[in-house]
């Protein structure tokens, strides 16, 4: 079975056919923020995605689209999801 990071990458690739995609596990940065967070798991993820499907969508609509796609993962224990969506040609900080 694929780990959470791989499952997220697979779902995002299938749904958005991204030009560029990075799913980054940042759980280790949050160790100790809560008694259950040791930093060893997959509780905090950052998604950086560029997709033509985001053309004409507001920032909020882009976030909602990604969040809804990953609802199952969020409901199953993904604690935090940072989303950095862009359409091709838009400037990004990464």
pLDDT digits (tens, 9 = 90+) for 13-43: 999 999 999 999 998 675 555 545 444 567 8
Q: Name the strands in the sheet holding 44-50, side by side, starting at the edge strand that comes first in the sequence.
A: 20-25, 44-50, 80-86
Q: Which two tokens stand for residue 36?
A: 């259950």
Q: Could you tell me which of 72, 79, 10, 84 has the C-alpha nearest to residue 47?
A: 84
CATH number of the domain encompassing residue 70: 3.30.300.90
- Which residues span the domain enclosing 48? 4-86
Number of domains comprising the chain: 1
pTM of the predicted model, to two decimals? 0.85
Alpha helices in 1-94 (DSSP H): 4-16, 59-69, 71-75
16 domain residue, yes or no: yes
Nearest-Å Rg of the Cα atoms of the chain is 14
**Residues listed for the chain:** 94
């Amino acid at each position: 079975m694929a780990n959470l990071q791989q499952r997220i990458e697979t779902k995002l690739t299938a749904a958005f056919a991204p030009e560029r995609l990075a799913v980054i596990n940042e759980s280790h940065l949050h160790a100790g923020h809560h008694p259950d967070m040791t930093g060893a798991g997959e509780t905090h993820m950052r998604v950086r995605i560029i997709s033509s499907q985001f053309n004409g969508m507001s920032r909020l609509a882009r976030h909602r689209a990604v969040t809804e796609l990953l609802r199952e993962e969020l409901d199953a224990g993904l604690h935090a999801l940072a989303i950095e969506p862009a359409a091709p040609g838009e400037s990004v900080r990464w």
